[in-house]
Amino acid sequence: MEVEVKFRVDFEEMRKRIEGVGASFLREEVQEDVYFSVPLPELLRVRRIFNLGRAFLTHKLIADPGRNEEFDELEVEVSDFDTTVEILKRLGYEEDVVVRKRRLVYRLGDVTFELSEVEGLGGFLDIEVISDDVGKAKRVIWEVAEKLGLTEKDVEPRLYQELIREKMKGRA
């Protein structure tokens, strides 16, 4: 089970804090996610990581809709992003939203930090632990979050595609 909590953050300030707690920098990713219209609590996306030349097809089942912190995830690397998107369209899936972001990935023990600058939305930090013990994983996440100065008021429970849709409606 993928357990994660997403926080709204100042990108540069949080980068310094993450490095300050001793997390190791793993990589930078420039991502484009194409989400398809499927009923919640499911998510279906194709992700392109431009700077690494990789692409992934991902299906997530949200185990706690509304909080969006627990996911049963299946992911497979695909050789061709555009063809994968086209196959899904031909199967009847409609493109919903596109999310573009620059992401810095860090690791500290069993904890992964995904610090993202999301186009049009700003800075976010996903603190993630992979574990079958959801309670323990959340305790670990919150211990680290507190070290970074994050509290419940910093939590962003909405999915990126929900935030993008809300922003698009605001422009209409």
- HEC per residue, 146-163: HHCCCCHHHECCCCHHHH
**The dihedral of CA 112, 4, 98, 158: what is its sign?**
negative
What the block records as the tokens of 116 is 């993202």
Closest CA to 118 of 95, 98, 94: 98
Whether 172 shows a pLDDT value over 50: the answer reads no
The vertex-102 CA angle with 148 and 153, nearest 5°, equals 35
Task: Provide the 10 A C-beta neighbour count for residue 85.
Answer: 20
pLDDT tens track for 113-151: 999 999 999 999 999 999 999 999 999 999 999 999 999
- Tell me: the pLDDT tens digits for 65-113? 888 888 999 999 999 999 999 999 999 999 999 999 999 999 999 999 9
DSSP alpha helices (H): ranges in 60-133?
Answer: 81-90
What is the per-residue pLDDT for 157?
A: 94
Residue in this structure with the two tokens 């994660």, named with its chain if needed:
4
Task: Name the residue among 153, 20, 43 with its Cα closest to residue 97.
Answer: 43
Pairing of strands 95-108, 70-78: unpaired
Distance CA 167, CA 121 (A): 8
pLDDT of residue 4: 95
pLDDT value of position 1: 87
CATH of domain 2-171: 2.40.320.10
